[in-house]
Amino acid sequence: NVKGSYLTRYSYYDKSMRERMFEEQMIVRDMEFALLERQFCVYLQPVCNLKADRIVAAEALVRWQHPTHGMIPPDRFISVFERNGFISRLDRFVWTEVCRFLQAQKQRTGTVIPVSVNVSRLHFYATDMLDFLLGLLRTYALEPEMLRLEIDESAYTDNPHQMARCVRELREHGFIVLLDDFGSGYSSLNMLKDLPVDGIKLDRSFVREVGQSARAGTIMEAIVAMVKKLAMGIVVEGVETKDQLAYLASIGCEDMQGYYFSRPLSEKEFAEFLIRKQGGLEMDD
Ligand code: C2E
Ligand code: MG
Ligand code: MG
Ligand code: MG
């Protein structure tokens, strides 16, 4: 029954639209209180280096532990906060939490592995991102290399000149800047050409496809070769299986992040993971 299925589909779609609208209203209504009440927390996902056989970095990923809706993943609220501007404050909260964590790690263990944070495109319109970051380094007595900044492609299409200037300025102050989700958008190559970044994070869509498509593999190998020729770093995102890992290693990738090694962990879990992997990565599959 064609008409019936159409109606079913329609009402389903309609309902999910309404649900999305309600969810967005809830998100906007609760965000201020959530920040105040520390319902946002920072999880850390290890970045592993195969050659060195150890954890060389981590990425900070925000989570929202909502009192009635439970754990809300960032994909549900980041875009809402980018539209209403709240992301600027949330990002600063995350950066501050990361610096506090880095200082604690430094005091406890004497060594620090760098942590990267996501930087929303909105910061490239504000003029005080650099001052805020420099203030954090002073407050927590950290070197700029310890805080890596991940920026994504969409920011570049918005405002290429402003972004290029920001990136240059950040790097002059010693920050490490990485292009996030590299290859997922339309301006990857332009960005690579125009932005003097330290490295890229290869989007996980590549990793997902390399097993199935020879073309994806060819493109991936070319990207790896190109990035190396530019003397930049490359972190592969979304490594989930041993086969993917073996393939990536065979084409010269060293730094990897993904569920194969670890999901994003709470601060405490992450510190334990570091200790457990001190002698080497050796994952049990
Ligand atoms: P992203 O920056 O590309 O972060 C990587 C995402 O991939 C994370 O999702 C991570 O949990 C997920 N991931 C890691 N390994 C695997 C894997 O092996 N398989 C699969 N399928 N996924 C994997 P998450 O935590 O849900 O974050 C989603 C996005 O939200 C992030 O993508 C980032 O763009 C944004 N985001 C997260 N935290 C922040 C933040 O503090 N500030 C801003 N502005 N954006 C954030
Ligand atoms: Mg990222
Ligand atoms: Mg990102
Ligand atoms: Mg990414």
Encode pLDDT of 231-264 as tens digits: 999 999 999 999 999 999 999 999 999 999 999 9
Phi and psi, residue 183, nearest 5°: 95, -5
Instruction: Output the residue whose Cα is nearest ligand 1's atom 46.
Output: 118
83 pLDDT above the threshold of 70: yes
The burial class, CB within 10 Å (0-12 / 13-18 / 19+), for 216 is: middle
- Residue 152 Cα to ligand 3 middle (Å): 6
3-state secondary structure of 187: coil
3 pLDDT above the threshold of 50: no
213 pLDDT above the threshold of 50: yes
Average pLDDT value for the chain: 91
Over the stretch 127-174, which tens digit does the pLDDT of each residue have?
Answer: 799 999 999 999 999 999 999 999 987 778 878 888 999 999 999 999
Give the position, in ligand 1's atom list, of the atom nearest the Cα of 259: 18
| Residue written as token pair 């064609």 | 2
ipTM of the complex: 0.98
**Contact call for residues 234 and 200 (beta carbons, < 8 A):** yes
The H or E element containing residue 64 is strand 54-66
Question: 51-54 long-range contacts, Cβ below 8 Å, gap at least 24?
Answer: 51/254, 52/254, 53/280, 53/281, 54/277, 54/278, 54/280, 54/281
Share of the chain residues as helix, strand and coil, in percent rounded to the nearest 5: 55, 20, 25
**What is the chain's Cα-based Rg?**
20
- Per-residue confidence at 2, pLDDT binned at 50, 70, 90? very low
- Per-residue confidence at 1, pLDDT binned at 50, 70, 90? very low
Ligand 1 pocket, residues with Cβ under 6 angstroms:
45, 61-62, 73-75, 78, 87, 91, 94, 118, 120, 150, 180-181, 204, 237-240, 257-259, 264
| Residue written as token pair 């998100």 | 27
Least confident of 60-64, 118-122, 123-127: 123-127
Cα–Cα distance list, 222 to 52, 71, 138, 246 (Å): 24, 39, 41, 17
Per-residue pLDDT, averaged over 266-285, amounts to 90
7 pLDDT above the threshold of 50: no
12 pLDDT above the threshold of 80: no
Q: Ligand nearest 257 Cα, by number? A: 1
CA 224, CA 102: separation in Å to the nearest integer? 30
Instruction: Output the residue whose Cα is nearest ligand 1's atom 15.
Output: 258
Give the position, in ligand 1's atom list, of the atom nearest the Cα of 43: 25
Exposure string over 122-140, b if 16+ CB within 10 A, otherwise e:
bbbeeeebbeebeebbeeb
Per-residue pLDDT, averaged over 12-38, amounts to 86
- Per-residue confidence at 10, pLDDT binned at 50, 70, 90? low
Residue scoring higher pLDDT (106 or 9) = 106
